[in-house]
Structure 1
């Protein structure tokens, strides 16, 4: 899928995306691109994304890591997941400046 390749190239270096659950404003969040999805950790002192819930449709906006201009916008579905040890380690590594304190993790998968 062309969108997945574009996201893969853009998100290798980017650590933040805009996520807008349908009917809500976009929120800038740190995220992890892995396995064809954007992983977003929220709650517990971490970032909040109002309206993000299991099964909710959203829009993910990505900016170019080099020019910071709008690169692409994709439709996605959020899925609440229980992170396994590998995902926990990847989220901790992606969060370079602090120990993660999230309470929920969403796999936001392009549709």
Structure 2
């Protein structure tokens, strides 16, 4: 992963995710442990095409200017987050108590 991608994801509260056959979708995400975490289902966002082992494109835009910063390829892994990560995901959703059905860890190609 590049330093530009790492820096962009540390600042981003939301990214665009697209998978083959699906339009890009603006998604709330959380950068933690060198991966992008995305919660879906339940009262949370729906992300068409985000499935276990899906190859997706993540687009990060500048939080201040909304200009395009970087596109990166990632692989999504359906996971059960540990307690610390679960708390971090809940905290990141400031305005609500999230109720999700699935958690995906998106890991980027080197």
TM-score tier after normalising by the smaller chain length: over 0.9
1:24 corresponds to which residue? 22
2:86 corresponds to which residue? 88
What is the RMSD computed on CA atoms of the aligned residues? Answer: 1.0
Structure 1 outlier segments of 4+, above 3 Å: none
TM-score, with structure 1 as normaliser: 0.92
2:13 corresponds to which residue? 15
Residue-pair matches, total: 109
Distance 1:7 1:66 in 2: 16
**Structure 1: any 5+ residue segments left out of the alignment?**
none
Distance 1:22 1:108 in 2: 16
Distance 1:18 1:65 in 2: 13
Distance 1:78 1:21 in 2: 10
Q: Out of 50, 57, 60, which is 2:58 matched to? A: 60
TM-score, with structure 2 as normaliser: 0.93
Distance 1:88 1:8 in 2: 21
